[in-house]
């Protein structure tokens, strides 16, 4: 049980009661009701932007490394298994069904397994990671609004086209008999993938210019969206 001020004064002297009451008063008034116990844990807008930039840098580095692996390790290995033929996902302007027929004839069952494994690992991770990186980048370059949402569509469509291309190519390479319709779909998806990739790069280059133009228009319109008021 806690001692009364009189008991503390009898044991420790007359100053003990006043010291204890002063400490209790200071403890009671040291923090306002509802105030955070540690106000330094609240993030400022600058800290939030810094954290987002760190995530963006990490995602960009991972995307570059994964793309370099695909370009310089994975695809050359697959080309070696296909008798030196280029993989269809590297042909920017598409390909005919005859090309895929020749490629399938040049690859045995173990080579086709490696090809499918490549699609389900590296060539699945890269489009997803690239889309995530580009969404972060556009989120920082553009203000919130319809323009940002419109730009967000590009990396999402790119990832969808790349993943769909993987699935269709796997189906074509194992179809029996050979499906020329699927081969044509794969070629369209390949061309679409590269077109969307180029549009993503263009969007990242144009976004800062559009952002500055929107900022100038907002400043010119004034705080209430109209023309600045003239003083009489």
Mean pLDDT of 71-77: 96
Q: What is the pLDDT of residues 186-231, one digit of tens each?
A: 999 999 999 999 999 999 999 989 888 877 877 777 665 544 444 4
pLDDT digits (tens, 9 = 90+) for 25-47: 454 444 555 555 555 555 676 66
| pTM score, whole prediction | 0.76
- Residue 5 within a domain: no
Q: Is residue 145 in some structural domain?
A: yes
Residue 25's pLDDT is 47
Summarize the confidence of residues 10-30 as an average pLDDT.
51
Look at residue 42 and tell me if it is in a domain. Answer: no
Gap between the Cα atoms of 59 and 61, Å rounded: 6
Each residue of 80-99: b (16+ CB within 10 Å) or e? ebbeeeebbbeeeebbebeb
Structural domain range at position 58: 48-217
Count of domains observed in the chain = 1
| pLDDT reported for residue 220 | 78
Average pLDDT across the chain, whole number: 84
Q: What is the pLDDT of residue 27?
A: 47
In a domain, 15, yes or no: no
- The answer to whether position 35 is within a domain reads no
Per-residue pLDDT at 1 = 52
pLDDT exceeds 80 at position 134: yes
Question: Is 157 contained in some domain?
Answer: yes
pLDDT at 231: 45
Residue 181 lies in a domain: yes
74 falls within a domain: yes
Assigned token pair, 97: 């069904």
pLDDT of residue 51: 84
């Amino acid at each position: 049980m806690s001692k009364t001020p009189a008991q503390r004064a009898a044991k420790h002297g007359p100053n003990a009661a006043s010291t204890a009451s002063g400490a209790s008063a200071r403890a009671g008034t040291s923090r306002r009701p509802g105030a955070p116990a540690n106000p330094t844990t609240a993030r400022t807008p600058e800290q939030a932007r810094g954290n987002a930039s760190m995530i963006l840098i990490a995602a960009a580095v991972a995307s570059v490394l994964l793309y370099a692996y695909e370009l310089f390790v994975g695809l050359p290995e697959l080309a070696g298994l296909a008798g030196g033929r280029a993989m269809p996902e590297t042909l920017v302007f598409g390909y005919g069904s005859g090309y895929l027929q020749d490629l399938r004839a040049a690859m045995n069952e173990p080579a086709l397994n490696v090809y499918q494994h490549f699609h389900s690992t590296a060539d699945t991770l890269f489009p997803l990671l690239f889309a995530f990186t580009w969404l972060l980048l556009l989120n920082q370059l553009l203000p919130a609004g319809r323009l940002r949402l419109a730009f967000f569509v590009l990396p999402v469509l790119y990832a969808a086209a790349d993943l769909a291309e993987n699935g269709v190519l796997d189906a074509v390479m194992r179809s029996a008999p050979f499906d020329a319709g699927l081969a044509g779909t794969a070629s369209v998806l390949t061309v679409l993938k590269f077109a969307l990739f180029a549009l993503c790069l263009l969007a990242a280059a144009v976004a800062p210019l559009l952002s500055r133009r929107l900022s100038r228009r907002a400043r010119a319109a004034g705080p209430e969206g109209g023309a600045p008021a003239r003083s009489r």
